[in-house]
Amino acid sequence: MKTYPAGDLTKEKIYEASKEIFFRDGYKKASMKEVSEKAGIKQSVFYYHYKNKSDLAKKLYSEFGTAHATAITEWIIQNKYSNDIIITNCICSALLIINSVTVPNIGRFWSEMYTDNLTADIPFHRHFHELIFKKRFSDFTEIDFEIFLIEAAAMNCALILSFMDGRLSIKQEELARFKIQNTLKELSFTKQERDEMVKEIIEIASQIPVVCGKNFEIRIGPKHVF
């Protein structure tokens, strides 16, 4: 069990309370007053620890994303599936979008964050995409990378929203496949290379039982059925 100094303990209480509120209400409707009440503090204390709702949501995105990617990466390493950083990150991305639409409350939260373009300045989001971008391109400008980040956020938002409101009447596997294909396309792989990599990514992802639950819980559950 973690221990914290008094100030850090309060900040952690706020964070833990936010997971329940964000899960229940989504990003847009979540009230920091309710988060403060849930954490048992005055609202003025909330703003001592976090600048605003966006600041808190970014922490949740980073904490969840890191834990989700770590669980998947550990499973990949243990089962000796692949040591390629692009393959591994695409598997994480595929399962993130599948887990998001499987738990609509999580999907709603992510899509609302993406809509507000919050992900571009989150360290986890930047680092996650920077790994594969630098692996693929040895010579690029900062503008190239920033555009790649924005396109990744926009694609996630559009896919999740379209799937959840019924505009995309496709299976989860097809949703993940389209996301991966687009990522690899932005990384300038040929169609043949993309097809081969997508097949490998989907096959591995289907074997990894990392799932999400209430209040952004990450756990080991049944394998995904594609």
DSSP string, 118-162: GGGG-HHHHHHHHHHHHHH-SS--HHHHHHHHHHHHHHHHHHHHH
Q: Give, in order, the Cα–Cα distances in Å from 111 to each of 37, 43, 66, 88, 156.
A: 26, 26, 18, 23, 7
C-alpha angle 123/129/134, rounded to 5°? 115
Query: Over pLDDT 90: what percentage of the chain?
Result: 77
Using one digit for the tens of pLDDT, what is the confidence trace for 91-136?
999 999 999 999 999 999 998 988 887 777 888 889 999 999 999 9
Q: How far apart are CA 148 and CA 142, in angstroms?
A: 10
Using one digit for the tens of pLDDT, what is the confidence trace for 11-64?
999 999 999 999 999 999 999 999 999 999 999 999 999 999 999 999 999 999
Place of tokens 């996650």: 128
